[in-house]
Structure formats: structure tokens, C-alpha cells
Amino acid sequence: MKRLQYIFDNYHDDFIHNYFQKKHLILKRANSNYFYKLLNKEIIENYLQNVELRYPDVRIVKNAEAIDTKLYVYSNSVINKKALFENFINGATIAFSGLHKSIRPLSVLTSELEGETGHRFQTNVYLTPPNSQGFKIHYDSHDVIVLQVGGQKKWKIFDESPIKWPHHDQKFVSGEYEHGNCIEDFTLHQGDTLYIPRGVWHSAESDGEYSLHITIGYMGTTWGDFIATYVQEQILSNVELREYVPFFNSNEKELNDIFLNKFQNIFNEKNTLEYIYNYVKSFIQKNQKPVISNYIDHARQIGTIDLKTKVERTSKLAFSITVDKEELTIICGGEYIILPKYTEGIVRELFNQDEPVCINDLPRSIDDEGKINLIKHLISKGVFMITFQE
């Protein structure tokens, strides 16, 4: 199942066409364990007990105010767990930033979302004790998807967004704008989902129950970002953009005409189509990192791979394959993997499979030893993994 489909369930198409970037969506579920494999109370308890916590990856907030780090952080940035616990008991929310970098199910989630959408994602996790509030009314400069994985939390949504679709450089500043009226007041229970577009005011607090939720940040590329990147690239390849602007005491009409002419030249159909093709083809392949696991088992078994071994693409990484006169290039998992041209048939068969594939079933365009060596090379790059039987 695709990850957006997993998150929004029967609302998947409705979310894409009617809610995305337009309005918030509340998805209630009867299945309280729907997100259990992603994150649960036991995983967080284990993380808190057994991982050396560091600031700012872990921080505490109470009533929208960040608690002075001197009260719970040592001089070397390590968190004082006793002080962390004391503040939590007294009503502070523990905020875990970028937990997808440490917890595998969240890593797989963000990686596969990136492969599906072509945009970047991140996760933060918030653990709030009963009858507490971490963050007051605010808006975010990116879309958020909230997955309630433990307990419950009360939310409010407000109208009159001060900025439609704020850019990531237009972050919320307390007191800069005033929010509108509350238009929805509801409780998310374990297993529920909430989508909030950027710029929409909201607040959350726990009631008599604790709350554990994942906030998935949709760090999308805006048209402005896209165009700015395009123009920056054109500066290096288009001599017209490297010409100095005339003296600023020139006629304004003359400056305007020159500007429009430059604009039309760089945004011609040939330039933009070529750029969009290359951008779409390579953006995620270059930036999406493989979620690698089973280090020990791979090290033990890579030397004994045979034709009966099954392998699969690591966490469904996005990829592109190009072939020139001499060689084949795979862009996948942030890697440029160069192979001989004659491997094209077997490489395309491998990468186009979304399910585990047996090495013996691959095309016979290269001999058995060559197949096995190719698979070992792709495993060492992290873009393929051995399918271990449970």
C-alpha cells in the first residue's frame, strides 16, 4: 500500500483533490492500533530510557514557552533525564525533532512518502502529560499531518489565516498577527489523523489523558523555489543573464523592456521543458537516502549469496536509469552508480520490481557469477537488500 493511501485510507483521493493546501481534514478511526507499528508508547519509553538524549533534538516546552535549557541540559548538550522527567511530571511536553533519523519505521515512512510525491518530509514527535499544553495558538510554514499514536489530544482550528501558504522563510512570530475565531473544536483519539495546511492557525492540549503524536512535516518545493532554482541554473548556462543591468539612472521603460526580453528568453519552452524533465527525474533520486537495516545479517550472508537468494529495492527508493554509448548510470538513494552498458536488461528488471525477486529469475543477459556480483555491488551501495525470512 502506498504511504499516502495508508495515512488517509478511504479519504486518499478526497484529500488530494479537495483538501490538500485548501482546508484541514479530520479522519476518525475505530482502530486505535492503526499506527501501532509506526510508533507506540513502548518504543518511546525505550528511547527515553536507553538512548543518550541531546539538545536540541530533544527539548521541553510548557504553555508555549521553551523551558530554560540550564534546567535540564548539561554543558555538553546531553539531556539530564532526571530533570526531563521532573518537568514532564509537572506538565511539560517533550518534543523530539527529526525522530525519523533514529526510528526505522519513521525513516521508512518519510523515505517512501518522498518517493511517492517528489517532496521532502520530516517527522517530529510530541509526548504530552495529562492536562497540559505545549504550544499555544500558532500556524506553521509547512503543511502538517498529525498521527495520534497514543492517548488523546484536544485541538482547535481557527479562521482568518494571516498569510496564505507562508514560505518557509515566513515562520510564525508570536504577536505579529492576530488569529480569527475558533471554527472547530475536537479531540483526536489514538488511531486518528489530522491534516492542517500551512498558514492555518491551530492549538492543541491534552485533557485527563496523556498524548503521543507524530507530526509529519510536508516540506514541499514551492513554485517560487522551483523558479529560483531554475534561474540560478540558467545563470551558469545562459550568457544573457550574466550581463550587467544598465546603470540605474536609465529610463525605467527601457529597463522594463530589457527585463521582459530577458524573461522571455530564459523561460522559453525548450529551456523549461528540459529543466523540468531533468529536475523531476533526479531530485528525489539524488536526495532520498536508503533506510538500511540488518547490518549483521547482511555482513554474514553477502558472502553466501547464490541464485536462490531473494533481494528487493531498499524501502522502495526512487530511481532513474540512463544509458549512453559506453555505460549505464543509476541515480538512486543519493548515489550515482556506474555499470557496464551490457547490464541494462538485468538492471531494469531488478529496479522495476516492487516485490522481492529471486536472482535466478533475472534475465540471462549476463552469466550467473556476473548476476551475483552485480547484486553484491548494489547491496553494498545500500540500494538493494537481502530479503530475510522471518
Q: Are 313 and 383 in contact (CB under 8 A)?
A: yes
High-pLDDT (> 70) share of the chain, %: 99
Identify the three-state secondary structure at position 339.
strand
| pLDDT for position 201 | 95
Half-sphere exposure of 382 (CA within 13 A, CB side): 14
Q: Under DSSP, is residue 65 helix (H, G, I), strand (E, B) or coil? A: strand
Domains and CATH numbers, the chain: 3-219 (2.60.120.650), 223-267 (no CATH), 295-386 (3.90.930.40)
What's the pLDDT score for residue 139?
A: 93
Burial (CB count within 10 angstroms: exposed 0-12, middle 13-18, buried 19+), residue 306: exposed
Dist CA 203 CA 103 (whole Å): 27
pLDDT of residue 188: 97
Q: How far apart are CA 62 and CA 90, in angstroms?
A: 9
For residues 359 and 65, the model is more confident at 359
- Under 8 Å CB-to-CB from 206, ≥6 apart: which residues? 128, 129, 130, 131, 132, 133, 151, 152, 153, 154
> How many residues make up the chain in this entry?
390
The span from the CA of 27 to the CA of 11, in Å, is 8
CB 110 within 8 A of CB 100: yes
pLDDT at residue 390, as a whole number: 44
Residues 16-62 pLDDT 10s: 999 999 999 999 999 999 999 999 999 999 999 999 999 999 999 99
Reported as a single tens digit per residue, the pLDDT across 226-275 is 888 888 888 888 888 898 988 877 788 888 888 888 888 888 877 788 78
Sorting pLDDT into bands at 50, 70 and 90, what band is 389?
low
> Given a cut of 90, is residue 64 above it in pLDDT?
no
Mean pLDDT of the chain: 91
d(CA 293, CA 109): 14
Global pTM exceeds 0.75 = yes
